[in-house]
Structure 1
Amino acid sequence: MQFVDSDTFTADRPWGALDITDIDGASVRLHWTDQPYIWHINDGPEVFVVLDGAVDMHFRVDGEEYVEPLRPGRICLAEPGDEHVAHPAPEARILVIERKGSV
């Protein structure tokens, strides 16, 4: 068995990750960051759960940008084709579940 204290996890760089496990081709990773990611579109679904801190999830619909604040316990599902970027406010620990090797 493995136990992880997410509230104390840090990484040596923004979006550094601790690989928790792979489940049937999906990766489960704990990320720490104090910097935004990059605008991207996943090739499969992505489940994004803020465990500690806060994240402003920026996303585009028909070219128009929106922002949804995410706090601990709030879950975001990005479907394939959803253009998005996460901005920590000011830092966050995030559980991400997505297809292994996805962007």
Structure 2
Amino acid sequence: MYAVIVSGGKQYRVAEGETLKLEKLEVATGNTIEFDRVLLVAAGDDVKIGAPVVEGAKVSAEVVSHGRAKKVTIVKFNRRKHHRKQMGHRQWFTEVKITGINAG
């Protein structure tokens, strides 16, 4: 059984027992969170597609940790001007473990 959820403006395909990194959520480590914006639920040949969401479907997950991703380097360069600027960015994320999928 798997589902497609929306979190942080992005869509994720999740299955029970899976661990994934989402955009930062303001939830303490160890707490449970429920995603009610479920776009699709599939169990074998039985597929429910929402318009836009599947009514009554929920995906529950446990917050494992918070952290920052690897650094992305941004380089800005102007030719012939002896100008170079280098910056970096590390995006915050929340790591969650999917504990259950309720098809509704």
Compute the TM-score of the two structures, normalised by the length of structure 1: 0.31
Structure 1 or 2, whichever has the larger Rg, is 2
Compute the TM-score of the two structures, normalised by the length of structure 2: 0.30
Write 1 or 2 for the structure with the bigger share of strand: 2
